[in-house]
Amino acid sequence: MEGRSLRAIVLMVVVLGMLEGHCTSAFFFKCYGKCFSDCMRITHSPVCAVTCLKQCLTSSSTSNTNNFCKLGCALSSCSTISTAQYHRVEEVEDCVDNCSKTCTTAS
């Protein structure tokens, strides 16, 4: 009986962790896409990618250390993917996901 309870708790934690990753990813995709589009429409500045990466990554609920790691990685690796003509939000999201994995294994 005790083994079943433990397995149920472990399974619930795994499922919640998977759901959190999907919610965070969906949040980033929506946040970055809107932010970059709005910024480019107003300023036409290459700084939009940096501004939006910072805005959309630091508003998530992960630890500060993980946020700084992910932000630093994203700024150096992902900030040149989007252009005024091609926002490439999915490519930026994939890049940020790779940064997230790198930072999670590093901490």
pLDDT of the residue at 95: 95
pLDDT of the residue at 17: 35
pLDDT of the residue at 18: 33
How many domains is the chain built from? 1
Domain extent, residue 78, equals 2-106
- pLDDT (average), residues 91-107: 89
pLDDT of the residue at 64: 74
pLDDT in tens, 6-65: 343 333 323 233 333 333 678 899 999 999 999 999 998 889 999 999 999 876 555 677
Closest C-alpha among 96, 13, 32, 106 to residue 66 = 106
pLDDT of the residue at 73: 94
Number of helices (H), then strands (E), in the chain: 4, 0
How far is the C-alpha of 26 from the C-alpha of 7, rounded, in Å? 29
In this model, does residue 97 exceed pLDDT 60? yes
Quick one: pLDDT band at residue 66, thresholds 50, 70, 90? confident
